[in-house]
Amino acid sequence: MARRWQLLLAGAVLLAAAAVAVATRGGDEATPSVQEYQASVVNTRDRVDFALAQLPEAQSEDDFLDRLDGAGSLVEEAADDFDDAGSPTRFEDESEELVRHLRQLSADLRGTAAQVRDIGFDKLLAGARGLNFPSWDHANAILAELREQGVEVKPIDRH
């Protein structure tokens, strides 16, 4: 009987020690370091830039629309992954804004493809020399704010 109580007490002590270890380390693991955050920002920017760089490679109107849809999906995935990665406290506001603007860019890309399919190239894009979305400008403004705070990341290029 005494042995049983000793085992229960030892188990309770080990469980408490494990809970304390998880609680003290859990916060550190959930919040990325500044270096990890910078890598996440750069990776996100690069993925968005890659998605947009595919647009000028279109070989036909249908291919262009498919690439707009594909770019929208890639941008949304990049935004979701960035959001899931978290950020240090000092970058939380900028991170939330960047995610919001990237998700809007994704919607803008897909929405443009849908509008062109409904209205037609000749009516919607006649004479256009390129596409410009305010969400792209806003995302780049957030990247500029992050650069001012020491995060080394290039702007998203125009394609």
Same domain, residue pair 38 and 24: no
Same domain, residue pair 11 and 63: no
Phi, psi for 154 (deg, rounded to 5): -80, 160
Q: Does 70 fall in a domain?
A: yes
Compute the radius of gyration of the chain from its Cα atoms: 23
Q: What is the pLDDT of residue 132?
A: 83
User: 48, 78 in Cβ contact below 8 A?
Assistant: yes
pTM for the complete prediction?
0.78
> What domain range is 118 assigned to?
33-148
Same domain, residue pair 44 and 78: yes
Structure tokens given for 44: 């996100």
Q: What is the pLDDT of residue 122?
A: 67
Same domain, residue pair 50 and 21: no
Same domain, residue pair 90 and 79: yes
From residue 26, give the alpha-carbon distance in Å to each of 34, 36, 40. Answer: 17, 16, 20
Structure tokens given for 102: 């990237």
pLDDT digits (tens, 9 = 90+) for 92-130: 999 999 999 999 999 999 999 999 898 877 666 555 566
Confidence of residue 36 (pLDDT cuts 50, 70, 90): very high
Q: Does 159 fall in a domain?
A: no
Query: Count of domains in the chain?
Result: 2
Same domain, residue pair 72 and 130: yes
Same domain, residue pair 26 and 37: no
Q: Which residues contact 70 (CB under 8 A, 6 or more apart)?
A: 51, 54
Same domain, residue pair 67 and 8: no
Q: Does 136 fall in a domain?
A: yes
Position with higher pLDDT, 156 vs 13: 156
Position with higher pLDDT, 107 vs 5: 107
Checking if the pLDDT of 3 tops 50, the result is no
Q: Is 47 helix (H, G, I), strand (E, B) or coil?
A: helix
The Cα 34–Cα 118 span in angstroms is 45
Average pLDDT over the chain, rounded to whole?
Answer: 83
Q: Does 158 fall in a domain?
A: no
